[in-house]
Structure 1
């Protein structure tokens, strides 16, 4: 009876956490949309000034179009880009608190995502080996539950990390496959918690195998986003 109450309380706490994170995602999306609209409005205001400045510098620029001046211009642009990046980092203090919080939570995605990557394949291996060697099956329940806790958190952090990214089909696949891994991993965690005697059954092994395969695909998609399609070329 006590264990049943603990499961119900944990389920309610988990649903409350998911609801809070969902509200946070909605707020972050609204804040990002509002900030982007402000940037576009500012760009529209400054574009006439840049056009007039470019027109006034056209004659002098055409008179000095030699190779050394071009290379000097490239160096100046590179320095200006670096300074712009530094200014962007310095201007983070001017952002709203919750927007900075969402961005910071999103940057935790590369850290959190390693936990389900480690837990689920290890649980699959110990569950398979534990069918013949029961001593190896002792940590299966812990590994599955731990993976089920971290998988949804990693998925949510990934959504927060990708909110400022440009639309991309690979990112879309990566996001929704991450949602599937998070939901499926949480379901396996609840199953392992409520029915620990089935942690070496065929159903659990099949579920862990599916989650492990999805995690491998997720790793490829994530690396493709950051390094390109040819990141595994030999």
Structure 2
């Protein structure tokens, strides 16, 4: 047994020592290719780039002049916009509560002591999910129509409604918080939360934010 452990440790060290130079070599190649590309683009687009540098301040001045002509936001618009910015903060709570409720209900399905934690997680998540959806709508006020934003809005609304319904169910019938139907609903809700998280990341970082 000791010999097997030593062999496994040796293989792990050997694989790590082999992978580090390879990774460093790949990183060096990437940096070299990037430097060559920047060098070539500098020679090919030197004159246009210089002209763009002179044009950019004028373009910025035009944008500032255009924004100055627009009417200022009212106090209500500014208040709603500020409240909507709390969406990225509040949204983390239902994102955590519902998967945690599913995990707790799964491992403690036949244990009576797990009833209270499951009920708390479902009720807490259901109370914050509609609030998170509402803040998301406020945060998107004034944004241009976009398919990603549309899906993100309505999927979040569905998650908020389903979460609130599960919270009422768990509050009124705590003996069914680990039933098969409740666990199926929590599974669907958790899957929807995962998809919703992808859309939220795509809106902030682009659709390729999860590319390898």
Match of 1:219 in 2: 197
Alignment TM-score, normalising by the size of structure 2: 0.70
Residue 137 (structure 2) pairs with residue 159 (structure 1): yes
What is the DSSP-based 3-state SS (H/G/I as helix, E as strand, rest coil) of the residue aligned with 1:230? coil
Distance between the aligned counterparts of 2:118 and 2:203, measured in 1?
32
Structure 1, unmatched stretches of 5+, are 1-65
Structure 2, unmatched stretches of 5+, are 1-46
Distance between the aligned counterparts of 1:161 and 1:79, measured in 2?
26
Match of 1:123 in 2: 101
1:106 paired residue among 42, 61, 84:
84
Aligned length: 166
* Dislocated runs of 4+, deviation >6 Å: none
Residue 126 (structure 2) pairs with residue 141 (structure 1): no
Deviation at 1:133, TM superposition (A): 3.7
Deviation at 1:73, TM superposition (A): 1.4
Residues 126 and 137, structure 1, Cα contact 8 Å, conserved in 2: no
Deviation at 1:80, TM superposition (A): 4.7
Question: In 2 relative to 1, CA 223–129 (structure 1 residues): closer, same or farther, beyond 3 Å?
Answer: same
Q: How does 1:54-65 map to 2 (within 5 A)?
A: none
Distance between the aligned counterparts of 2:127 and 2:100, measured in 1?
15
Please identify, of 67-76 and 178-187, the stretch whose mean Cα deviation from structure 2 is larger. Answer: 67-76
Considering only CA atoms, is the larger Rg found in Structure 1 or Structure 2? 2
Residues 99 and 186, structure 2, Cα contact 8 Å, conserved in 1: yes
Match of 1:229 in 2: 207
Deviation at 1:136, TM superposition (A): 3.5
Alignment TM-score, normalising by the size of structure 1: 0.63
Residues 178 and 218, structure 1, Cα contact 8 Å, conserved in 2: yes
Residue 144 (structure 2) pairs with residue 171 (structure 1): no
CA RMSD of aligned residues (A): 2.8
Residue 51 (structure 2) pairs with residue 70 (structure 1): yes
